[in-house]
Amino acid sequence: MNIQNLARENVRLLTPYQSARRIGGNGSVWLNANEYPEATAYQLTEQNLNRYPECQPVQVIQRYAAYAGIKPEQLIVSRGADESIELLMRAFCEPNKDAVLYCPPTYGMYSVSAETLGIERRIVNSKKDWQLDLPAIKEALNGVKLVYVCSPNNPTGNLINPDDIRELLAMTAGRALVVVDEAYIEFCPKASVVSWLSQYPNLVVLRTLSKAFALAGLRCGFALASEEIINLLLKVIAPYPLSTPVADIAAQALSDQGIATMRQRVIELNARRDQLIKTLSACTCVTDVYPSETNYLLFKLTDSEAAFKTLWDQGIILRDQNKQPGLKGCLRISIGTQAECDAVTDVLQTF
């Protein structure tokens, strides 16, 4: 029996998302997944694990809504923002009929989720400055139900021009949703578009606890939108998306003290990022270090493949971006501890 013949054709042909852990490596310095570099300490307070959890944990919903400045009814919590990316496709896109649109170089799960679900992927590359090519997007919108925009963008680190996002929202009104992925927004909170939700019924904002909240291992994310959109997503989400321990820790992270700790963490990490820009720029093998509003930096080297391998062989794992459109010669580095950042620049200064 050939099991492959039983699988869906698009799954047989699918190239899975290459997450940092899937790529592997024998590293002691992991700077390839945009995680916070140090563990956070939480104690479980909820012990009734014999019971199924709430579908949408009330305390998590209420605390995140208060943090984001929206009503609880405008929010859904999911297994990371990745699940929300897929929930939107399941709720709004007919397989083999509708399309989603995104603008590389950008986060890879928009593509993988669409391909898995049998939804057409409409690709409009960003301009050379990594901003939206609005005329090209307008030409490609026929049949598109969802437009994914990552801001700050992964892996480039830049913010998308807010006037362009407004124009995109106007351009898609009545025909598609614009999904603004704000996974890294805590590192530049003034750039958030959450306050626009009341103006644009076709806007969805994605958020996560994985980055600034230092809880990548928790897998807890959010979609923020109109009540009408949230009610549709609630129809297709799993019965118990968050386990009891996840909801317990998420609620603690979203307490007043948890949010204050996160904000202090951001101040310290942003300062370390700005210092790393200077140190990397001084390395003769580095030709460009690009501005960033996130907890990572994209930089270009004279020989990125050799530098990547040299670091890899010494247990320092960065993210190779050579296969992304327009990013030939580039690596991405997560902002680690000071010692981890120094380990990278020590190697590059002698490379």
Q: Which fold has domain 58-256?
A: Aspartate Aminotransferase; domain 2 (3.40.640)
Residue 184: left if φ>0, alpha if ψ -120 to 50, beta else—which one? alpha
What local confidence, expressed as pLDDT, does residue 6 receive? 83
Q: Answer for the pair 316, 343: CB distance below 8 angstroms, yes or no.
A: yes
Name the amino acid, one letter, at 97.
K
Q: How far is CA 240 from CA 36, 45, 55, 220, in A?
A: 27, 19, 5, 13
What span, in angstroms and rounded, lies between the C-alpha atoms of 95 and 105? 24
Using the predicted structure, report yes or no on whether residue 31 has a pLDDT greater than 90: yes
What local confidence, expressed as pLDDT, does residue 11 receive? 83
pTM greater than 0.85 (yes/no):
yes
What local confidence, expressed as pLDDT, does residue 140 receive? 98
Using the predicted structure, report yes or no on whether residue 93 has a pLDDT greater than 90: yes
The domain segmentation of the chain, as residue ranges, is 3-39+258-349, 58-256
What span, in angstroms and rounded, lies between the C-alpha atoms of 342 and 351? 14
Helix (H) or strand (E) holding 205: strand 203-208
Residue 348: left if φ>0, alpha if ψ -120 to 50, beta else—which one? alpha
Q: Is the peptide bond before 241 cis (omega within 30 degrees of 0)?
A: no
Q: What is the pLDDT of residues 109-134, one digit of tens each?
A: 999 999 999 999 999 999 999 999 99
- Rounded to 10 degrees, what is the CA torsion of 137, 139, 145, 151? 0
Tell the residue number behind the tokens 């054709």, with chain if given. 9
Pick from 67, 44, 93, 24: which is nearest to 233 by CA?
Answer: 93
Pick from 270, 335, 344: which is nearest to 301 by CA?
Answer: 344
Residues in CB range of 196: below 8 A, 6 or more apart: 166, 169, 203
Of all residues in the chain, the percent with pLDDT exceeding 90 is 90
- The confidence band for 46, taking pLDDT boundaries of 50, 70 and 90, is confident
DSSP one-letter string for 305-318: HHHHHHHHHTTEE-
Tell me the CB-side half-sphere exposure of residue 200, using CA atoms within 13 A.
25
The class of domain 3-39+258-349 in CATH terms is alpha beta
Q: What is the pLDDT of residues 293-334, one digit of tens each?
A: 999 999 999 999 999 999 999 999 999 999 999 999 999 999
Q: Answer for the pair 288, 300: CB distance below 8 angstroms, yes or no.
A: yes
What local confidence, expressed as pLDDT, does residue 2 receive? 84
Q: What is the DSSP letter of 152?
A: S
Instruction: Calculate mean pLDDT across residues 143-164.
Output: 98
- Residue 120 corresponds to which tokens in the numbers above? 């057409």
Pick from 160, 179, 126: which is nearest to 325 by CA?
Answer: 126
Of all residues in the chain, the percent with pLDDT exceeding 70 is 98
Average pLDDT of the chain, as a whole number = 95
- The confidence band for 8, taking pLDDT boundaries of 50, 70 and 90, is confident
- Residue 266 corresponds to which tokens in the numbers above? 């951001």
What local confidence, expressed as pLDDT, does residue 344 receive? 98
Name the amino acid, one letter, at 267.
I
